[in-house]
Amino acid sequence: MTIARPGLIVADRWQDYRLLDCGDGMKQEQWGRYNLVRPDPQIIWPKTGGKSWTNWDGFYHRSETGGGKWEYRQQLPEHWTVRYGALTFKIHPTSFKHTGLFPEQAVNWDWFSQKIRDARAAGREISVLNLFGYTGAASVAAAAAGASVCHVDAAEGMVKWCRENATLSGLADAPVRYITDDCMKFVRREIKRGRKYDAIIMDPPTYGRGSTGEMWKLEDHLWGLLSECKQVLSDRPLFFLINAYTARLSPSVVINLLDGLMHDAGGHIHGGEVGLPIQKDGKILPCGIYGRWESA
């Protein structure tokens, strides 16, 4: 086993998305045709030049009592699309400030897509399990690379959104299973069924609830889930990717988890921060952490 200690990887190949500027707790982004301003707790530095942004189409205002709401300068469509290479994703501003896509994850899509293509070129069929799959960008990317995919999320609306993204990307008939379920319960059932996967992707939340109200707390349940996932890995696992957005975990913690999980499998572990380039001044906005295990 070789381990690369924390580094920074940057999603800098976007055409339809741009992080225009950041400052004073806010970020200004271009999502296709539309310019949105949203809060981000990582942005504690001031705006460049101290000037207010004026050329926006949607602005998310946080409420002092929690949550917030969007202000629009023009009537935006309910949803629209952005492209990343051959992939197309539906964008829809939600009441929780999100748009349905985390663009920084494109650097991970590129990485595992190449792993899948290389394995297929060597004659292997690859199956991928995506847990806490959200709107399915990673699932769509893996399917586009030629893998069969099982997409799991506890929210029915997110699973439906994943199916829409697959259709938009020309993958309506791709071998993707769409599962609405609690991730832990699903993995335990897969163990009983004897189903195996060559690769696992997961983006566990800090807190969450399963499809029937099960409580999830990252610090208490992540290792247990990882241990269960180890039992559904095939005899020739290809990769294991963990993404996290909580400030409570450092990249070294994720690396240590993967080392404890995969120490008997050899291979390589790499982890660190994932970020987006800020067009205005060249800074990098940190957008979370990741850990990757890959076969030798």
d(CA 35, CA 79): 14
Give the pLDDT score at 230.
98
pLDDT of residue 212: 65
Tell whether the model's pLDDT for residue 62 goes beyond 80: yes
Cα separation of 144 and 169, whole Å?
A: 8
Lookup result for tokens 């499998």: 265
Q: Quote the distance between the C-alpha of residue 128 and its chain's center.
A: 14
Predicted pLDDT at 211? 57
In this structure, what token pair is assigned to residue 155? 């929210």
Distance CA 154, CA 235 (A): 28
Confidence of residue 63 (pLDDT cuts 50, 70, 90): confident
**Domains with residue ranges and CATH for the chain:** 2-8+102-294 (3.40.50.150), 13-91 (2.60.40.1180)
Cα separations in angstroms, 105 against 61, 141, 242, 271, 279: 25, 11, 11, 14, 18
For residues 187 and 239, what is the distance between their CA atoms, to the nearest angstrom?
17
At 249 the pLDDT is: 83
- What is the pLDDT confidence band of residue 210, given thresholds at 50, 70 and 90? low
Q: Using pLDDT thresholds of 50, 70 and 90, give the confidence band for residue 208.
A: confident
Q: pLDDT > 70: what percent of the chain?
A: 98
191-200 confidence digits (pLDDT tens):
999 999 999 9
Residues 6+ apart with CB under 8 A from 36: 28, 29, 56, 57, 58, 59, 60, 93, 99
Residue 11: count of CB within 10 angstroms of its CB: 22
